[in-house]
Structure 1
Amino acid sequence: MTAKWEKTEVNVGVLEVEVASDRFANALNDAFKKVSKNVNIPGFRKGKVPRRIFEAKFGVEALYQDAVDLLLPQAYQEAVEEAGIEPVDRPSVDVVQLEQGKPFIFKATVTVKPEVTLGEYKGIEIQDKSFDVTDETIDQEIEQVLKSHAEIEVVEDGAIENGDTVSIDFRGTVDDEPFEGGEAENFQLEIGSGTFIGGFEDQLIGLKTGESRDIEVTFPEDYHVKSLQDKAAKFHVVLHDIKRKVLRELDDEFVQEISDFETVDEYKADLKKRLEERAEQDHKRFIEDEVVSKVTENATIDVPSVMVEHEIDHQLNSFSQQLQMQQIPFDAYLEFTGTSMEEMRNQFREAAEKSVRTSLVLEAITEAEGVTVNDDDLNAELEKVAANTGLELDKVRELMGVRDPNLESFKHDLATRKTIELLVQNSKLA
């Protein structure tokens, strides 16, 4: 077999492949064995028809498509390896010669992984950012803890305040006409959450249980339902009840209920330690993200659109799985938000292109710097996974081996992390 690669565009080329006639003959034999099992010819049992009888009745051409189906995938893969190219999409195949006794020739139009021209990636200067844990930081965290353990009380005599959760009926109209999704009963709304259109929640403040109020708002220009964009709307709202969070006092009794500590001082000391550890990790990720972003910006690369589309598919699939965890079907989400699939894909496009560019640049640096993953690296990382999951090391290897027998994906991710560490080590903080 011979393969000839010729680039026709920036990331596209034609791979011309010639498969020897004897190999094509073998593929025809295999194709005959396959189709003869289902051929009915009087006087012969299924699978027992001689090939000469089959060809006399149907012609050898009847075997061509099955022979191509059997031969082409393997021949294409061998040709790719011989040409030393990295396809990023399925090829478009044109058969050039398909005749018994002659070589099988085909041309495959292939989109390949783009070349990356690296710019400066060592000595990158990063504007540092403070992640210090201050008394204010600790107080904010404590406030969130108190809120999460707050007691809920029904406000019998009082008006809506910011932070309250209310039960309301509402009916909305645009130009005095009701619209889809503009009406609900006993709707639970947290005031200040930003759940509703801007201005809606603020106008409820001061309303008392049993009272009603007309509220006027304007839908934003980028509202997800196109027919309502930039439209003025009026809502008639009836308030049924008000619930308010009553915060506990941070004292020793409260600390003993929610933690393993006895006193407020012990709890605060531990909280500060945990916040400092989190801040350290946040700072580390910040530096990594900044370095990788600058390095990617410095590189020159023409990303094939097909790679971006594949990444959009991947991100949409992840998003759909997140919705399923919330028991929301993806189609229902599109309908509820008034978003078409094309609009949804466009929402992911910028992030997808950035992700592809970043991955390609990091791969190029990994290769340029000769970053590799040895057995010690692999074992150390697997031990981390085992420690974090509480599983035995052998069990981790077994579970990961089911998804990735040679752990190639895991090794790739580990090599990328080592490359990022190299970039950070060679960067400068300003």
Structure 2
Amino acid sequence: MVLNQLTVLDAVRMLQRRELSAVQLMRACFARIEQREDSVHAWAALDKDAALARALLLDKGPITGPLHGLPFGVKDVFDTQDLPTAYGSPIYQDHRPEADAAAVTRCRQAGALVAGKTVTTEFATFKAPLTRNPHNTAYTPGGSSSGSAAAVADFMVPFALGTQTAASVIRPAAYCGVVGFKPSFGTIPRDGIKTLASSLDTVGCFTRTVDDAGLIASVLMDQPALRRLNYDGPPRVGIYRTPQWRHTLPETREALAQAAETLGRARAVVQEVDLPPEYCALVQLQSDIMAHEATRSLAVERERHASQISPGLQALLQGGDKIDAAKHQANLQRAAEMYARVGGWFERFDVLLTPSAQGEAPFADQGTGDPLFGRVWTLFGLPCVHLPFATGPHGLPVGLQAVGPKGDDYRLLCIAKWMHDKLRPQG
């Protein structure tokens, strides 16, 4: 048994029964980090001695909660009181927050142990970090939750926290071949997280199974029911190719065709979803809302530290400057009007199955990939789960995302587990 490769559920069971100590698991995770970090570069800050000391204290005391003794990674946009928090920017190189972000606090209160801070792109935007895809370090892990996805995929920690403003949970999960869960907007507190776009920012997590995502989400969302995902099925599955289908690569098209066939054989009702022509504008709408709100969120940094902001982020913020408050309110209203039509989809379908990314991860020197296929679902605030189950022409992971109605995260995760069990290679 390789301890650092345990799933969340398996590790938790052993920790709860005292068949495994928190120190043993933390040591195994750090051994993997020491073995691979020079290649993967998943971590922005680590303090092995402090993490092991906290693990030892847990081992000496009572069981503390559902995540007792479980190491995890924290994207470096979440404040942490015992580790530096730089938000992926040299502006905050020496920043030491006085308190943890609320999501980190919830995990700690449930007994989880922070192993370290994972690498993020600059203020959770698009500048490519040093982090590499653990499956092949010539390729990107995606962004902006680059280190979190890579750390879980490379068995450095069993789970990690991330955020999504466009596609920053789902796309890295797709490129790294792990489960990524972005819940309904507003269901996890964002206190203590560096804001990028307040209408869009959403806390999410990375795990290696859907069951694991349910357990972590149960803590983050304060919904104990998520700890047991039960669904008899079969579901009604809507295949949503999106108006951007022409941008998909053959491996994503093949994955969607394979999924439709496999789920159909499993007696799911699988049908195509109509593509409203006006939805072609949604990607740009999300981009405009994000850019405008980012100019507000990063106003102080622009005023005082402009030279330390990357050219790419400067360009995004300059685009946001061109959108005034009235136009921004009109954009939000238009998004709300378009979202009203989505409810009809979930009268016909239990879940939508749609691309997570164009295809396999691109080369690292080409950036973190296009967030194209996550923008609309973030704009609408819908819960999404990335399901890895295939590989592309270069042997890199490929999968799809399941999307559910807002607020029905439990049912989405239940159906996502049912589908993932059918789609994953057996044996």
On whether the aligned pair clears a TM of 0.5, the verdict is no
TM-score, normalised to structure 1, is 0.19
Q: Which has the higher strand share?
A: 1
TM-score, normalised to structure 2, is 0.19
Instruction: Determine which structure has more spread, i.e. the larger CA radius of gyration.
Output: 1
